[in-house]
Amino acid sequence: MSEARATTDTRERILDAAERLFMESGYEGTSMRMITGAAGVNLAAVNYHFGSKEALLREVFRRRLAWLNKERLRLLDDMEAQAKGEPLKPSAILEAFFGTLLHMGTDESLGGMTFLRLLGRTLTEPADFIRTFFAGEYAEVVDRYKRALFRALPDVPHEEIIWRFHLMLGAMSYAIAGTDALQVVTGCELDLKNEGPQAAELLSARVMPFLLGGLRAPLPQFVTKQEQQHQSEPDKAA
């Protein structure tokens, strides 16, 4: 009846191995034999402890997203309490949402860069059960942050805010996930995975200005019918 020590050892060895292998080879590209081999446990251990390969993937994410979701909600709650009813600054909202994510990359006990890259890559996995799972895991947090952005940008149509939220998620995911997928396309070392804990801070410094710039960009012409010219003149980065 009591929890034997070897039990949690085996479970966590499997979760760690699966986290790394799913990141490197994707869900379909990773076999149970690869996972149990890397974890140094018996092939049947995954089905015994988790039930199935699908359930294993869900647990890999659940143990990390539990912290991420809680922290994101806590930060938003704190900021809203301190603002006493006033709308938050968009930059503060983004800092809370994406900064929390990037912080996980600096802390090995939260999964480190391995989990960050896994998360970025898995968001595009086409398998139905994965999409369903993420929808459930993200629903509450995304809804809260969406509403905070609505209040922070009262003059911007909600649909436009959702689009830009979407685009920011995409840019951030690629910045993390595609580190070697697209750096070979861009043909330049983007020096991420060798930096260890500082990697996430470098990432943050590079990505956050980009996201804010995108979020605050002029609205598309068909949204603001008036004054549709002269708004994209200064063709220069600061």
Partner DNA sequence: ACTTGGTTCAAACGTTCGTTTAAATCATAT
Partner DNA sequence: ATATGATTTAAACGAACGTTTGAACCAAGT
Burial class (CB in 10 A: 0-12, 13-18, 19+), 29: exposed
73 is a contact residue toward its own copies (CB under 8 A): no
Centre a 10 Å sphere on the Cβ of residue 204 and count the other Cβ atoms it contains. 18
| Interaction of residue 3 with DNA, rule CB under 7 A | yes
Q: Binds 66, which of DNA, its own copies, none (CB < 5 to 8 A, cut-off by type)?
A: none
Q: Of these partners, DNA, its own copies, none, which one is at the site of residue 31 (CB under 5 to 8 Å by kind)?
A: DNA
- The half-sphere exposure of 172 on its side-chain side, counting CA atoms within 13 A, is 26
Site string for DNA, 23-62 (x = CB under 7 A): -------xxxxx------xxxxxxxxx--xxx--------
Q: Considering only 43-51, 53-61, 65-73, 115-123, which stretch makes contact with its own copies by CB under 8 A?
A: 115-123
Residue 186 contact partner, candidates DNA, its own copies, none, CB within 5 to 8 A by sort of partner: its own copies
Helix 112-122, helix 198-215: angle, nearest 10: 40
In the window 202-221, what residues touch its own copies (CB under 8 A)?
205-221
**Cα–Cα distance between 36 and 28 in angstroms, integer?**
15
Q: How far is the CB of 188 from its own copies (least distance, A)?
A: 5
- Residue from 24, 59, 80, 195 binding its own copies (CB under 8 A): 24
In the shown chain, the binding pattern of residues 122 to 141 toward DNA, with x for contact by CB under 7 A and - for none, equals: --------------------
Q: Residue 23, class by beta-carbon neighbours within 10 Å (0-12 exposed, 13-18 middle, 19+ buried)?
A: buried
| Residues engaged in binding DNA (CB under 7 A) | 1-7, 9-10, 30-34, 41-49, 52-54
